[in-house]
Structure 1
Amino acid sequence: MLTSFGRFCRKLRIDHGELLKHMADKLGVTSSYLSAVENGKRNVPQGWIEKISDLYSLNVEEQEKLKQAVFESQKIVKLDFEDLNADDKTTILALARQFKELDKKDKETIKAILLKNRKKGE
């Protein structure tokens, strides 16, 4: 199934009259690899936002849409635990393990807490 990133890339290719192979060549990957990324079988590689933005001269609005598409398409997220204590690590991992089991209300509560704390730090 085509991800948000895949839809963004497809539109970009149509707008530039390109085939998947042309974009893959520009990115230095095979067509099958690009297709796997677009279909969510692989994560969007680091550096592709900047590379695609440069290759296609994306304006600020288009870059934001690309960033959002990449964010929505990520299936795996790596976390940096370097400066976290054991309790913080346990909390983060417990949330990740149990997230699917939470009901909508609990998820909204957690999201509100996190967004409130994020705004305080900005």
Structure 2
Amino acid sequence: MITRFGKELRKLRLDLGITLNDMAVSIGVSPSLLSSAETGKKTATPSLIEKLAEAYGQVRERKAEFMKLAEETKSEVRIRLSEDNSRANGVALAFARNFDSLTSQQLEQLMAVFNNAKKE
């Protein structure tokens, strides 16, 4: 799942016309680390943002925004959808769409279902 931070980082890189590898080399990190930050597999650290800000004026100008976007990713949950289980995918997507509107009672019911699933 690409995060808002990842989208902004990728957009910056493409706007600059540089490859992921070139950006990684220019800031002294591995391409896999930068790729993981872009794709949302890893949360961007303040250290990574500092390195980006030192190398790229566009990040330096928007450093607070990049920090905020990186912080947001810490509270996100990622679920890898199954290629062969459309029912599970449907449940995961419905849960994500409705998460903010669930009542306390509904959350308790879901927790009971999840706790029972562990026992089975």
TM-score, length of structure 2 as denominator length: 0.54
1-structure distance, mates of 2:15, 2:100? 41
- Structure 1 partner of 2:29: 29
Separation of aligned partners in 2, 1:17 and 1:75: 31
Change (3 A) 1:59 1:20: closer
**What's the CA shift for 1:64?**
2.4
| Partner Cα separation in structure 2 for residue 44 and residue 55 of structure 1 | 16
Name 1:40's counterpart in structure 2: 40
2:5 partner amino acid: F
TM-score of the superposition, structure 1-length normalised? 0.53
1:65 corresponds in structure 2 to: 65
Q: 1:61 to 1:30 in 2, by over 3 A?
A: closer
Call closer, same or farther: CA 1:60–1:52 in 2, change over 3 Å.
closer
1:9 equivalent in alignment to 2:9: yes
For these two proteins, the number of residue pairs brought into alignment is 82
**Counterpart contact for 1:49–1:63, Cα < 8 Å:** yes
By relative contact order (CA 8 Å, sep 6+), the higher-ranking structure is 1
List per-residue Cα deviations over 1:46-95 (Å, max 9, x = no partner): 3122221121113765222212221122259xxxxxxxxxxxxxxxxxxx
- Relative to total residues, which structure has the larger helix share, 1 or 2? 2
2:110 is aligned to none
Distance 1:66 1:52 in 2: 10
**Amino acid across the alignment from 1:39:** T
Check conservation: 2:54, 2:60, Cα contact below 8 A.
Answer: no
